[in-house]
Amino acid sequence: CDLRDLPPMVASELSHVHTRPIDFVCDSEARRMMNKVKDLQVEMVVCSAVDALPSNIKLPCIRIHKATWERKSVHEQRVEILLSLGTLAQDVRSARTLSQPGCGLTLLVRLEHSINNYLHVVRLLHIEGEQVEPQAELCLGQPSKDFGLVLKHFGLLLTGKLEWLIAEMAKRC
């Protein structure tokens, strides 16, 4: 991707790309600043171009059965989140490539950027005793072309499963 092809407003979000994993775990303010879902939801209201996405996006599973989640190791929780984020990023990238220039494309670029930031940070999280990536089932919800629903599920993934993982890891801060 050539940076000259990206809309100018994307550059405004680059300041949080360098959030260190330890900041992400131990500083809830750093996580709050990195979460751009509410900003995207506000901008979506004025952009009718994203009412219907050009392709389906598989929604991540956001429901958590507390007892089942707590039985999983931190490693398994992390892998499950990485799989969800990776699939979401791939589907958003596909929708972006099919989008026409305009505010819809700009929002998809910003969403993809945000998802990739989370992927980067979660990949770099140091989990003690982690040697081999455990296997995890990829849990996906229904496919959707509704940008608002995609944002909602992404936000709930961040405030749900990811925050539960961080809460466990933050005990070492």
* pLDDT above 90 for 134: no
Reply yes or no on whether the pLDDT at 106 is more than 60.
yes
Is residue 165 situated within a structural domain? Answer: yes
Number of domains in the chain: 1
Assigned domain for 10 exists: yes
Cβ neighbours of residue 91 closer than 8 Å, sequence gap 6 or more: 55, 56, 57, 58
Give strand pairing partners of 60.
140
Domain residues for the domain of 57 are: 3-127+139-172
Report how far residue 169's alpha carbon sits from residue 81's, in angstroms, rounded to the nearest whole number: 14
Enter the pTM of the model.
Answer: 0.81
In a domain, 97, yes or no: yes
Provide the percentage of residues in the chain whose pLDDT is more than 70: 79
pLDDT reading at 129 higher than 50 = yes
pLDDT attached to residue 17: 45
Instruction: Note whether residue 133 is domain-resident.
Output: no
| Residue 134: inside a domain | no
pLDDT for 28 equals 83
CATH number for the domain harbouring residue 73: 1.20.1250.10
Contact 25, 119 (CB under 8 A): no
